[in-house]
Amino acid sequence: MICVKQMDKKENRKNLISPNLSFSSLEMGRDDVNLVCTYGKISVWFGRQVQDVVIGQILLGIANIDNSAVHELEVICDFEEITGYESNGYILVAYAKSREGYRTTFNVPFSSKKALFYLAGSITEELKDKDTILDCYWTGDNSDIMCLYEELSNIDGWKIKSINYKDDARDKHDSPFILD
């Protein structure tokens, strides 16, 4: 992948990323946004001061790298509101009647720009009251994580905050002194 090669050149000069080790997690962002990537999950903390455009850049950035990513959302709403979520690209996974209304679970697919636009609006509304955490599930690996960093590095002030490597990630074939 092109972005992996570009990333290797840039980051190896800074000695931030070891090309021979697998990530346990990579944390990136800036003061108002923090994003932690692992192989199965991307967790994004949005601070109340984050701009709407940055929310959109992050959601679209994730979609550009892995459009099969999803966010699972639980909502309690009236039955009539379910179709409103669905018409905005959310996929109903489950629902059950409760005292407060209907307890619903939706998948928000990153393959749907409409769903991402609606999700961005929901995040913006939530940020009026409190910081927000968004968990996304994806199938990213080392190269996808590096590509995501490259994709999001266009955001002003974006940087790598920390890298955790897997303890046993060193491939036996990388060292001539370890034999099978």
pTM, two decimal places: 0.83
Determine the average pLDDT of the residues in 166-177. 48
Residue 74, pLDDT score: 97
pLDDT exceeds 80 at position 175: no
Question: What's the pLDDT at 2?
Answer: 44
**Residue 23: band (very low, low, confident or very high) from pLDDT cuts 50, 70, 90:** confident
Question: Quick one: pLDDT band at residue 16, thresholds 50, 70, 90?
Answer: low
**Stretch 1-6: mean pLDDT, rounded?**
44
Q: HSE, CB side, 13 Å, CA atoms: give it for residue 170.
A: 7
Largest interatomic CA distance in the chain? 66
Q: What confidence tier does 59 reach under pLDDT thresholds 50, 70, 90?
A: very high
Per-domain residue ranges of the chain: 27-69+112-166, 70-109
At residue 55, the 3 state secondary structure works out as helix
pLDDT of 66 above 60 = yes
Residue for token pair 């999700």:
119
**What DSSP letter does each residue of 79-128 carry, written as one string?**
HHHHHHHHHTT-EEEEEEEETTEEEEEEEEETT-HHHHHHHHHHHHHHTT
Which DSSP category does 170 fall into?
S
Q: How many other CB atoms sit within 10 Å of the CB of residue 60?
A: 17
The pLDDT value recorded for residue 180 is 33
The residue among 153 and 177 whose pLDDT is bigger is 153
Q: What is the pLDDT of residue 166?
A: 85
Main-chain dihedrals φ then ψ at residue 55, nearest 5 degrees = -60, -50
Band (pLDDT 50/70/90 cuts) for residue 3 is low
- CA separation, residue 91 to residues 74, 111, 177 (Å): 12, 12, 52
